[in-house]
Chains A and B, each alone.
Chain A
Amino acid sequence: MDLELTPEQEEFRKIVRAFAEEVVGPRAEAMDRAGALDPVVLDQMAAMGLFGLPFPEEVGGMGADYTTLCLAIEELARVDSSVAITLEAAVGLGAMPIWRYGSAEQHQRWLRPLAAGEQLGAFGLTEPAGGSDAGALATRATLDGDEWVIDGTKALITNAGLDRSGLVTVAAVTGQRPDGRHEITNIIVPTGTPGYRVGRSYAKVGWHASDTRELIFESCRVPVANTLGERGAGLANFLRTLEEGRVAVAALATGLCQGCVDECTRYAREREAFGQPIAAFQAVAFKIADMEVRAHTARLAWQQAAAKLDAGQPFGREAAIAKLYASEAAVTSARDAVQVHGGYGFMEEFPVARFYRDAKVLEIGEGTSEIMRILIARSLGLG
């Protein structure tokens, strides 16, 4: 397994880094306060082709791979997790299932505008009464002639309430399997469909500029042609989608870890105490050295999982390890980064305060740390 990036990927990483530093960074604090992304940022991300990175050119993509997508997510998360999660959710959760499970016709109709970044896609799986227990869905879809009629509520859904939100793929119970368990089917619901309502934004601890909503479906009708993948294949398909998403979230967490290293290195050299820069005190320098170890290790972990994914090899175990390690590393590094900044770290003018709030959710989304441990334990034949 070759973990070396190609020269083109290295070049692209530099370009996304420049974009993150020049365009996103200066707006990050204001976007966090406003609780909304600046359209200028999304427009430029679209123009750079970020929303189409892992898709082939025939469907309007950039012809890159999952590793390249993760590079972009990592670089954005170095300065702003809200922007990074918007990209991760739009591509990894919104567009990717349509690419993986959609027909050629669905690719042209639904994927093309998502890959161009003209529209953002969302993935409607989690419900108010269940996240990790994804098999226990309550949202139902019943066939009426050649239409699905959908009823239910989805919770904590990213990217559904923006001006450019184009569609949500809803996981719904469409019947019972011979073994008595739910038959689950994924169905594409375009924004604006009668009976599909987007609820208010949640008041979140972090990721303030990212859009998170409750979605309500009341006798919402869509053509049966909107079925994504086989009827009854919904559970398997979204589990695979989440597995891939874990690699991207690990890259996002790595970016946050790197952001902590960068901010603390700068601050520790400038800030003086007892007549010398605080970087001269080992209590501070060792904290930053440990942050560097976490960022480096987290990067190796996601890059290896992504390399396996791109090579078409099983990557579920590696994705779980990368996601678990990187997200817990991000929480630890963000906490220490605030400590290095002292009282200023508790002030919103300093990015580490935002990093601290943004880090926690990484241990929850795309599978909690507990679920990751279950998966890793199972891979050892335990539990």
Chain B
Amino acid sequence: MKILVTVKRVPDTAAEKRLDPADKTLDRESVETILNPVDEYAVEEALRLKEQHGGEVVVLCMGPSSALATVRKALSMGPDAAVHVHDDALHGSCAFNTAKVLQAAIRQVEPDIVLCGSESTDARTSLVPSALAEYLGWPGLTGAKQLEVDGATVRVHRETENGYDVVEADGPAVVSVVKGINEPRYPSFKGIMAAKSKPVTDYTLADLGVDPGEVGTAGATTEVVDFAPRPPRQAGQQVKDPGDGSAAVELAEFLAGHKFI
């Protein structure tokens, strides 16, 4: 079984993020970057599938050349190989164009299943897994809290407010996983060392036959029109009781005035 996992380099979740005023994209160089946290769950799930069914795990990353560190981080958990798509023309790609490029790379790898994290912590659109399934023409099973592969059948448990839905499809399929589907392993020292020498295939847009005009800022289907920092929080209104209990009335009126009660 050939299992492909998509991974993304994102700014450290705890870090202060900054947008570049020139082109309104995230300034990725100014902050410490990490492997998108939920992607660790996707990598772990891929490794578990391999442990059950045999085969190989390939990591796929689209991102600037500096994203190689993220690729190696994912490889240190245990995958066999990686594909890294980087091209200057990709800068500013929207979610749909990202999916389009990933789709072209996936066709080169020809996996039996594609696993994605359900969202990235930077843009948080959650669009890529579904768009990827659409462009590939494969079933898309999103939000998996549990995954089983039984022959050609791919089955996921998708958590809902009341319980879970069981969704099933014939592979190849795209599955997006949520946190809690497993407990990602910590890489071993040997894993870190081994990751340095695992094969990483580099693709440019030309290699994938993707027209640079269709992706990046040039081909983006969405545009950031404007951005502004969140205004500083205003001081709250304090209610002091003069000693006769009248503050209760004032509080009730405040809550009623804002339709809380």
Residues in chain A within 8 A of chain B (CB atoms): 8, 11-12, 15-16, 18-19, 44, 47-49, 53, 57, 62-64, 68
Contact = CB atoms under 8 A, between A and B. Distances in A.
Contact of A15 (B187, B190, B193, B196): B187
17 contacts: A11-B73, A11-B192, A12-B189, A12-B192, A15-B187, A18-B186, A44-B186, A47-B185, A47-B186, A47-B188, A48-B189, A49-B188, A53-B189, A57-B190, A62-B189, A63-B190, A64-B189
| Residue of A8, A16, A19, A44 with highest tally of chain B CB at under 10 A | A8
Interface in B89-130: none
Contact of A48 (B73, B186, B193, B196): B186
A8 B190 contact: no
| Interface size bracket, B side | 10 to 19
A8 B192 contact: yes
Interface of B: 73, 76, 185-193, 196
A8 B186 contact: no
A77 to B, nearest CB: 17
Contacts of A18: 186
B188 A48 contact: yes
Nearest to A10: B192
Contacts, number: 38
Contacts of B190: 49, 57, 62-63
A44 B184 CA distance: 11
**Prevailing SS type, chain A contact patch:** helix
Contacts of B187: 15, 48
A63 B186 contact: no
A192 to B, nearest CB: 29
A53 B187 CA distance: 13
A63 B193 contact: yes
Contacts of A64: 189
A44 B191 CA distance: 15
A8 B185 contact: no
Contacts of A19: 186
Q: Which 9 A-B residue pairs are closest in the complex by CB-CB distance? A: A49-B188, A62-B189, A62-B190, A64-B189, A19-B186, A8-B192, A48-B186, A48-B188, A12-B189
B150 to A, nearest CB: 27
B23 to A, nearest CB: 31
A16 B188 CA distance: 9
Given A11-B192, A12-B189, 18 more contacts: A8-B193, A8-B196, A11-B73, A11-B76, A15-B192, A16-B186, A18-B186, A19-B186, A44-B186, A47-B188, A48-B187, A48-B188, A49-B191, A53-B189, A63-B189, A63-B190, A63-B193, A64-B189
Nearest to A18: B186
**Max chain A Cβ within 10 angstroms of own Cβ: one of B76, B187, B189, B191:** B189
Contacts of B191: 49
B34 to A, nearest CB: 10
Contacts of A11: 73, 76, 192
B113 to A, nearest CB: 25
A83 B193 CA distance: 25
B96 to A, nearest CB: 34
A295 B186 CA distance: 26
B66 to A, nearest CB: 14
Contacts of B188: 47-49, 62
A198 B228 CA distance: 68
A273 B191 CA distance: 48
A68 B192 CA distance: 13
B13 to A, nearest CB: 13
A356 B73 CA distance: 37
Nearest to B185: A47
A48 B196 CA distance: 17
A8 B75 CA distance: 13
A8 B69 CA distance: 11
A8 B196 CA distance: 9
Interface centre among B187, B190, B191, B196 (most CB of A within 10 A): B190
B193 to A, nearest CB: 6
Contacts of B76: 11
